[in-house]
Chains A and B, each alone.
Chain A
Amino acid sequence: MLLYKREIIRNGKSTMLWTAILLLYNISMLLLYPSMTGAMKDKMNLMLQAFPKEMIIAMGLDKVSITELLGFYNTYCYLLVTILGGIFAMLQGISVLSKEEDEKTIEFLLSKPITRNRIIFEKVSAVLTNILILNIVVSMISYVAIELVSSEAYSLKALLLLFLGPVLMQVTFAAVGLLISIFIVKARINIPVGVGIVLGLYFISILATVSEKADFLKYVTPFKYVDGADIINSKAIEPVYLAIMTAVTLACTFITRLIYNKKDIVA
């Protein structure tokens, strides 16, 4: 697992930085929750009533209440965890293989006794580890913060699913990134493409939420697969979405493996 170790060390700083940003953001938001009581709660509800209906729907506030703990977490923390976490995972997936080609170190690596399948296996394992590190640290410390600020009962199952959902979504994004990187090797092109895809899919998820005509788009965007408001209400991630994420992840990894093994490396 030499290459795996190397990848973990190489990406260590970046993973720590992304983890720290999400963590600090989540904690500072959660610390604001205790002010959401009594008169403030009523004021907030009144203010929300003045919002356009579409905006309320887009924010998922037609399904959950911002003045309740999980609703608050969904609006203020979960959104950023999914968007930033999605970008993090996409960047991890898109650069893990292509970086060696872009920086032309692949000729060195492939001259060593290691198969291409092994390279994919160790590098993908490193990406999964980084995704898990980010999510476990952010989730565990956020859980402690939630326990500290909570004054009412909440569904632990729903919260755990709010922690699990982003992991599944990020793994899917990483797999898509991996496949993209087979075709676009240059970091100056594939990174903007990857970030663009994540943000584009986020906007598609808003469209799918707001417009009934665009409802079919919910199958296109991973942001809908792990929609926070839906998870809080149903205390489940729909099996169809679980199936799509699994299929996309497996298909992208499989195709990557197939093409990478046949690919000419012209460093």
Chain B
Amino acid sequence: MNAIEVTGLSKHYGNSRGIIDVNLEVKEGEVFGFIGPNGAGKSTTIRTLLNLIHAEKGEARIFGLDCFAQSRKIKEQVGYLPSEVHYYDDMKVRELLKYSSGYYKKDCSERIDQLCTALELNVDKKLEELSFGNKKKVGIVQALLHQPRLLILDEPTSGLDPLMQNKFFEILREENRKGVTIFFSSHILTEVQRMCDRVAIIKEGRILKTESIDTLRSTTYKRIKIEFVKLENTAFEGFPGVVDRTDSENGMEFLYNGPIEAIVKKLYEYELRNLWVEEPQLEEIFMHYYQ
């Protein structure tokens, strides 16, 4: 069974675009990345899945259940971490987590202790006293405490320092090993690169492509950086496959997608002082989709 199945989902906010004809399929047990720049429609899609907003067209199912009609049942099995976390300022962390677990009618105290220790979260602090990063940790714990089958994470690492991010990814890997499906939205590609099996790329409300992370990284994109002996300003101008060119003091760098042989032949025409050929970051490949 698929964990998430979305077909032809569309949503507008008045006259402005939300999402258009979004199709997604996330398999159970998969770590699925959902990438796109801010405003592309990631949160709109997620909020529709959680029945926070209502789509005009299309269908969305989680574990075979209808996201609109059977939302309550779905939420028993889903943990959600929103991109911006807001909690009740009058509560202490411990009270909020207890309150949160009350909705699942389970004793989650052991799990809460485990997670709070791992994330170094002080449960006796009032929520209004917490920094954004610490509130995010509360968000992580409340999303995980009831041991959901599906985790929906919207920009989960914003506000977490790199050490905490590592711990968070460790927790996610552990959950995934237990069979938990993870749906992970982000505009930071390296995160997605670290975690995900497949990604969907969303731009201006439409899904551009859904690919396995290996396919996305195995394209022939190379980042090429050149230092000339004698500056050649017009080199590679209009050369097929060269994009994203930036000139430096005595050289240039660009992203190249095309036959390696062709670029090597072209490079041979110039007197070079230095040459770097690197695997591009997923981010760079991703940027290319937006051009």
Contact = CB atoms under 8 A, between A and B. Distances in A.
Interface of A: 2, 6, 10, 103-105, 107-108, 110-115, 262, 264-267
Nearest to B73: A113
A107 to B, nearest CB: 5
10 contacts: A10-B88, A10-B90, A104-B84, A108-B85, A108-B142, A110-B52, A111-B75, A111-B78, A113-B76, A114-B103
Contacts of A10: 88, 90
Contacts of A110: 50-52
B100 A266 contact: no
B61 to A, nearest CB: 17
A112 B104 CA distance: 8
Contacts of A103: 86, 88-89
A112 B99 CA distance: 11
Contacts of B78: 111
Contacts of B75: 111-114
Tier of interface size on chain B: 20 to 34
A104 B100 contact: no
A1 B222 CA distance: 59
Contact of A104 (B86, B99, B102, B142): B86
A114 B72 contact: yes
Given A103-B86, A114-B72, A266 B103 contact: no
Interface string B13-45: 100000000000000000000000000000000
Contacts of A2: 99, 102-103
B98 to A, nearest CB: 10
A105 B142 CA distance: 13
A108 B86 contact: yes
B80 interface: yes
A264 B86 contact: no
Contacts of A111: 50, 75, 78, 80, 82
A262 B72 contact: no
B73 A105 contact: no
9 closest residue pairs by CB, A with B? A104-B86, A112-B103, A264-B53, A111-B80, A113-B75, A265-B52, A113-B76, A2-B102, A113-B72
B54 A105 contact: no
Nearest to B81: A111
A265 B47 contact: yes
Contacts of A107: 52, 82, 86
Nearest to A106: B52
B147 interface: no
A104 B89 CA distance: 11
Contacts of B71: 115
A113 B73 CA distance: 6
B289 interface: no
B87 interface: yes
Given A108-B86, A265-B47, A113 B104 contact: yes
